[in-house]
Structure formats: C-alpha cells, structure tokens
Chain A
Amino acid sequence: MNGQLTDNGPDAQGRFGDFGGRFMPEALMAALDELTAAWQEAMADETFVAEFQRMLREYAGVPSLLYDATKLSEVAGARILLKREDLNHTGAHKIRNVLGQALLTKRMGKTRMIAETGAGQHGVAAATAAAYLGLECTVYMGEVDTQRQALNVARMQLLGTEVIPVTSGSRTLKDAINEAIRDWVASVDRTAYCFGTAAGPHPFPAMVRDFCRGIGDEAREQCLELTGALPDAVVACVGGGSNAIGLFTAFLEDESVDIFGFEPGGDGVETGRHAATIWAGEVGVLHGARTYVLQDEDGQTLESHSISAGLDYPGVGPQHAHLADIGRAHYRPVTDAEAMDAMALLARTEGIIPAIESAHAVAGAMELAEERPGSTILVNLSGRGDKDMGTAIEWFGLGQASEDGTPEPATEKQIAEGAK
C-alpha cells in the first residue's frame, strides 16, 4: 500500500464514470462526509499507514505468498500463479479490509462497529478485528444464512460479537445490509459501519479497495521477482468485488496485462438462477451506488443464486461496473458446476482446498489457459475452503469410505451436520 489515493477514481462525488455516487438517506450524509474526510486524512498520515501495515504483517500474516502452481499449470497448459490470500489470518483477503476499517473506527473515536454478512466470512473477520482492537461489534445476518452457517455464528459469538438474525425481505445478505443501514441511521454518532465489500455509497467502494489493494501491489512485485515479467492476465472472482478490485488496482495501468473477473453463474445464466450481475444485470441503484443490478422490469431487486454464499449478491462494486463499461476489465460467468470441478482439481493437483468463491477464479483461469496456452495467469486465491466442506460433502457425495477405499456418499444426517 502506498498511502496515496489512486488516480483511478472516484471523483469528488464518488463516481467512477457513470457509476457509484451516493444514493443514501440525508441522515447518513454527514457521517459519510465525515468518514470520507477521516479516511483521506488517515491514508495521508504515515503513522496510520505504518500501523495498518504493522497489523497486516504481524497479525494477519501479510504479505501472502505468490505460489507457482506447477502441477496445476501442467494440467492447464499455461503458467498459473496463485496469490495465497487463503493463508491470511481468518482464511481470506477480508482481514485486510476489516483491519483497515476497524483502525479507522478507533481513529475516529467511535466505540462500536456494525457489519453485514452473508455466509459469515466478513462477519467473522469484522468480529476478529473488533476483538483485536477492543471495539463493540454487532453483525446482521439473514435468518436463512444463520441457519445455514451456524458454525460462523458460533465463531462470531465466541469472538464477543452480537449476531442479529434478519427476518425481513428475502432474509439473506441484501436484507442484512438493509438492516445494518437502518441500525447505522439510528446510531451513527458512536457507530461505524464496517462494510464488507467494495460496493455501497461513497467512500466505501474506494476505501475498501484501498485497504485491499495490497493484494495486487504485492502480487505485481512478487510476479516480477519470480518470473521477471508481468503476468499476461490477472484473474479474480467477483461478487461485490473486494478481492478482485484489490488485485486489479495494481495492474490497471499495465496495458499488457489483461484483467478478468469471474462472476457466479449459478445453474447457468440462461436459467435465471445466478448472480452474474455485470454479465446479466442492468444499470440501477442498489445500496447507495449506481451499478449493475439484478432487477426486474420495475426495478425491484431480484434474488440471486450461487453455490458460493460469498458471491451471492444481486449488485456489484461500481468500479467494476465502470471497468466493464470502458472495456479495461472483462467479466464472465462461471457456473456452480465449473467452480466445484475447479475446487476438486486444485485440491487434487496442488493439495490446496480453495473457498468456492476462489474456485470460480480457478475455473476462469482454466478457461483462459485453454484460450491462451503458454501464457502466465495470476489468480487471486482469495480464501480457503474449510468453511465450504458441508457444500463439498453434499456436491461430491463425500464423507464415508467403503472397505476398498472408494468414497461413499455421506448420509443425510452427516450432510446436515457438515452444512452446519
């Protein structure tokens, strides 16, 4: 991290081209202005930046490795480099964002953090940062998700965070965001909203990007050191898009580097059961930003679908919408089945079990490798797959072994246990 605002936007209104901005209740405008000013001052303050970097290094295990995945590369027919964000504390890139926001919360003199979470990964990360920095923390989580992800609810509770199940709307991530915003409107004087992705109203898309951009800054340097050249392409999965924008930012000015985001294609975009927002959505306003949105003819938000809870969101960060619009980055869908195949492939070739989110990026890299054999493709392996074993057991029919060693499908009961 260089402590500078990038020149990739946004403008003073928080717009990236036609996207972004701040579509929010007036009640939050003063707080968003205050947050923008505090963040910009903090990023210009060497003490803040040094403390952020110290926490990343000493607590989160950053910089993460850039791993030359030679066995996977053999299968792919291209050189695949994995940025091992799965090795960070709490098992994903998200620790970078929450440590940045929690440190900023302390600096602003606020004592409480709220966060939304889908599967619970951002919630666990926020709860971790709150515990580490001594902040009170409340996490909103759709009721449906609290039932599917009881283990993450328990993690947050053990870390001292209050988890509130959200029963409104579709009872999933987008409703958890709505409820967190409602809390924030009523508690903004002492509460910071630790937003989980590079979406939402200004300054969140830019602020979250800047807290995560170490991913790309490190990877670019590591790639030059390892291969003596820049990669031909960089690849990440895109839900809201924090890990992707964290990777892409360092490469935006490198004209020789192609940029690819892979969106959750669910059962296939043609089925309507997906969360491929840029690929299949249309421009609208959701959660404070103008961006691509999965919506019906009347602008009502549609429910999204993905096997990966972390990508299951009907909106996308506005800078991604802009990068797609100007053609600097390309976004394509990857289906549930392709992602699960990639999860198994990476596990068996390299002994790395990726998060299903990150498996979308691996699947995308395999597709690119076929199109451009011999090229170097840098993939952000944004998280580890421990949290996804319930889904894997069910998908692959794992969990029991017969006497000759062949896998047997788990029982319904085991699946239910695993899913917890």
Chain B
Amino acid sequence: MSTSVAFEKARGEGRAALVGYLPAGFPDVQGGIDALTVMVESGCDVIEVGLPYSDPVMDGPTIQAAAQRALENGFRTADVLRTVEAVAATGAPTVVMTYWNPVSRYGTERFATDLANAGGAGLITPDLTPDSAEEWIAAADSHDLDKVFLVAPSSTDARLRYTAEACRGFIYATAVMGVTGARASTSDLAGPLVARTRAVTDLPVGVGLGVSNGDQAAEVARYADAVIVGSAFVRPLLDAPDTATGLKALAALTEDLAAGVRRG
C-alpha cells in the first residue's frame, strides 16, 4: 500500500498527515512494535520504521542512542521486516527509513521482495540519492514500492526537480541544515524549501527534522502536506522508568501532534 493513500485521506480532511518514526528493535523488537502500534492508535497516519545502523551520519544523539541500544540488544535486519509486518497490519502505511549499506548487504532485490511481502509501503533513504539509486529504483518499481528521497535547503532547483522525478509516495524535505533531533523553534528554511519543491512536483511534501510538539506541528502543517516526527517520539521511551510509563507518554505526545496537524 503506497503512502499516497494516507496523504489523500488527510487532504480529504483538509489537514496535513502525521508521520511518526521509531527505530526497529528499540527497546527490543516486540517493545518497538508495541510502541509503533500505540502511535498508530493515537493518531499517526504513516509510520516510518528505522533500521538501526552502526554509522548513522544523519542522526543526532537521541536517535543514535536508540539505534545503538537496539544493536546492542542483538537487532538483525530481519527484525525490521517483522516490525513492518506487524505495524502494516494495523492498516497504517509503513515505510522503512534506512542507511544504504544494510539494504545493499541484504541484497536490494531481496529486500524489496521481503519488504513488499511484509506489507511495507517503501523506503526512505537518507544517504542514497537518485544519483546512486539505479538498483533500488528498479527493485522498487518492480515491487510497487514508494521511493522517498530527501531534499534539503541546500538543494538547487535542478536537484529538486531531479529528486522529485525519482520519488514516489512523497518527498521528504529536511527543515534544517543539520541532523535529526528536537529543536526549540521551527526552521525558517523549511517554508521556502517546500515552496520551491512544490514548484517542481505535485507529490505530497513532508517536512522533518526538529518538530517535537503540537504547536510546532501546527506551524509546519500550514505549508506542508505532512509533519514528520522522529527524535521526539524516541525521547519518552529513552527517559521512561518503565514500559507502561513510556507508552503512556508516547500516546499523549502523538495525540498532541495529531491535534497540531489538524490546527495547521
């Protein structure tokens, strides 16, 4: 199921979609599935499942810590597929966000096959741009999967067009020049980037990096088709003294953000 289903639904309701991220295997595989299920039940329209990787150059300390914990607990690539299968079963379109080497190692075609069989919607690839994605694009197309590439405030108009042409599902606009992590205020670079992206494509544009509460979500929802939240979802799980408390905080945060995208 393509993520476009969720974007159409949100558009029909006159609001932005809420996209929520957690790394798979954090705190452990079942714990991650439980947390992502809570996020779906509390208002996430699309789920991004991260594939923990040893060298995450686009991630700030919060997601690094969670991914590191997953790896220390013995996370395997197959666990991300298990997680996708469980989350996709809730009905929410579910994509995997991954650095390229784990997929390359698993085998691009094999990963695409297994992801499609698990009910996954596609991939977000933070360190793979269309320039180097020939193999992935072919595999995604043959398995009817979304290809979500990133655009950045530094992307030239030519690169925006080039990237947008290679995307399916939506386009991930990084709101700041920097890595993942909650920020106190929203970026003034995101609005212009979304406007420049819209000028070259009709695909939905999601904005990520730095959003952590309903008010920020509402602000971003005014100009973007989706608000993408990652580190802020990881934080309560890292901080909570026990699972129940963590999931409760996660539900409350999701509701706050879901209300935010409806105020935008």
Contacts of B54 in A (CB 8 A): 169, 300-301
Distance in Å from the Cβ of A295 to the closest Cβ of chain B?
7
- A174 to B54 CA separation, bound complex (whole angstroms): 10
Could you tell me if A185 and B177 are in contact, using CB atoms closer than 8 angstroms? Answer: yes
Flag if B131 contacts A31 (CB, 8 Å): no
Chain B's closest residue to A282 (CB) is B105
Q: Are A24 and B76 in contact (CB under 8 A)?
A: no
Question: Are B159 and A298 in contact, with the CB atoms below 8 A?
Answer: no
Q: Scan residues 6-41 of chain A and give those whose CB is less than 8 A from a CB of chain B.
A: 13, 21-31
A168 within 8 A of B: yes
B183–chain A nearest beta-carbon distance, Å = 11
Chain A residues whose C-beta falls within 8 Å of the C-beta of B150 in the assembled complex: 25-27
| Contact in complex: A26, B129 (CB < 8 Å) | yes
Nearest chain-B residue to A287 (Cβ)?
B55
**Inter-subunit contact B156/A30 (CB<8 Å):** yes
Nearest residue (CB) in A for B61 is A168
A274 CB to closest chain B CB, in angstroms?
18
Q: Identify B105's interface contact among A25, A26, A189, A295, CB under 8 A.
A: A295
Residue of B nearest to A301 (CB): B54
Provide the bound-state CA to CA distance between A182 and B53, in Å: 15
B105 pairs with A22, CB closer than 8 A: no
Report if A299-B105 is in contact (Cβ < 8 Å); known contacts: A27-B154, A174-B55, A178-B56.
yes
Q: Which residues of A contact B56 (CB under 8 A)?
A: 178
Are B155 and A186 in contact, CB atoms less than 8 angstroms apart? no
Question: Is the CB–CB distance between B129 and A182 below 8 Å?
Answer: no
Give the chain A neighbours of B105 by CB distance below 8 A. 284, 295, 297-299
Question: Does chain B have a CB within 8 A of A104?
Answer: no
B174 within 8 Å of A (CB atoms): yes
Assess whether B132 is in contact with A21, with CB atoms less than 8 Å apart: yes
- Shortest Cβ distance from B155 into A: residue: A26
B163 within 8 A of A: yes
| A30 and B101 form a contact (CB under 8 A) | no
A295 to B53 alpha-carbon distance, docked (Å) = 11
CB atoms of B57 and A181 under 8 A apart = yes
Contacts of A298 in B (CB 8 A): 76-77, 102, 105-106
**Cα–Cα, bound, A300→B72 (Å):** 12
A24 vs B151: C-alpha distance when bound (angstroms): 12
Closest beta carbon of chain B to A418's beta carbon, Å: 32
CA distance A286 to B155 in the complex (A): 23
Contacts A21-B132, A22-B132; is A286 near B55 (CB within 8 Å)? yes
Assess whether A164 is interfacial by the CB under 8 Å rule: no
When chains A and B are docked, how far (Å) is the Cα of A187 from the Cα of B68?
Answer: 25
Across the interface, do B177 and A284 meet the contact criterion of CB distance under 8 Å? no
Q: Are A27 and B152 in contact (CB under 8 A)?
A: yes
Interface residues of A in 292-316 (CB under 8 A from B): 293, 295, 297-301
- Interchain CB contact under 8 A, B128 and A23: yes
Minimal Cβ-Cβ distance residue in A for B60: A182
Bound complex: CA A178 to CA B102 (Å): 17
Task: Knowing A27-B152, A285-B104, say if A22 contacts B131 (CB, 8 Å).
Answer: yes
Which of A22, A186, A297 meets B179, CB within 8 Å? Answer: A186
Q: Does B195 contact A (CB under 8 A)?
A: no
B149 in the interface (beta carbon within 8 A): yes
User: Smallest CB-CB separation from A179: which chain B residue?
Assistant: B57
CA distance A25 to B178 in the complex (A): 10
The closest CB in chain B to the CB of A13 belongs to: B131
A222 to chain B, nearest CB (A): 40
State which residues 173-194 of A face B: CB under 8 Å: 174-175, 178, 181-182, 185-189
From B104, B106, B178, A185 is in contact (CB under 8 Å) with B178
Q: Which residue of A lies closest to B173 (CB)?
A: A26
Residue of A24, A174, A175, A285 with highest tally of chain B CB at under 10 A: A285
Is B138 an interface position by the 8 A CB rule?
A: no
Most chain A CB within a 10 A radius of its CB, from B61, B159, B178: B178
A284 to B132, CA, bound (A): 13
Nearest chain-B residue to A299 (Cβ)? Answer: B105
The docked-state distance in angstroms from the alpha carbon of A284 to that of B100 is 9
Asked if A178 meets B53 with Cβ closer than 8 Å, knowing A21-B132, A26-B151, A299-B106, the reply is no
Beta-carbon nearest neighbor of A180 in chain B = B57
Task: Determine the distance from Cα of A23 to Cα of B154 in the docked complex, in whole angstroms.
Answer: 17
Look across to chain A and name the residue whose beta carbon is closest to the beta carbon of B53.
A300
A301 in complex: contacting residue of B55, B68, B100, B177, CB < 8 Å: B55
Report yes or no: B149 in contact with A182, Cβ–Cβ below 8 A. no
Q: Which B residues between 32 and 54 are near A, CB-CB below 8 angstroms?
A: 53-54
Can you list, as one digit per residue, whether each of A134-157 has a CB less than 8 Å from chain B (1) or not (0)? 000000000000000000000000
Contacts of B237 in A (CB 8 A): none
* B177 contacts A182, C-beta separation under 8 Å: no
Q: Are A23 and B100 in contact (CB under 8 A)?
A: yes
CA distance A293 to B54 in the complex (A): 13
Name the contact of B57 in the complex, choosing from A22, A25, A31, A299 (C-beta under 8 A): A25
Q: Are A23 and B127 in contact (CB under 8 A)?
A: yes
B83 at the interface (CB under 8 A from A): no
A187 to B, closest residue via Cβ: B177
Contact residue among A24, A169, A178 (Cβ-Cβ distance under 8 Å from B129)? A24
A31 touches B102 (CB 8 A): no
Name, among B57, B64, B151, the residue most crowded by chain A CB atoms within 10 Å (CB to CB): B57
Q: A27-B177, A285-B101, A293-B101 given. 17 additional CB < 8 A pairs?
A: A13-B131, A21-B132, A23-B100, A27-B150, A182-B57, A182-B58, A182-B60, A182-B179, A186-B178, A188-B154, A285-B104, A286-B101, A297-B105, A298-B106, A299-B103, A300-B54, A301-B55
Q: What 5 A-B pairs have minimum CB-CB distances, sorted nearest first?
A: A299-B105, A27-B152, A186-B178, A299-B102, A299-B101
A-B contacts, 27 of them at CB < 8 A, read A21-B131, A25-B58, A25-B126, A25-B152, A26-B129, A26-B163, A27-B150, A27-B174, A29-B131, A29-B155, A30-B154, A30-B156, A168-B68, A186-B176, A186-B177, A186-B178, A186-B179, A187-B177, A188-B154, A189-B177, A285-B127, A286-B101, A293-B101, A297-B105, A298-B76, A299-B104, A301-B55
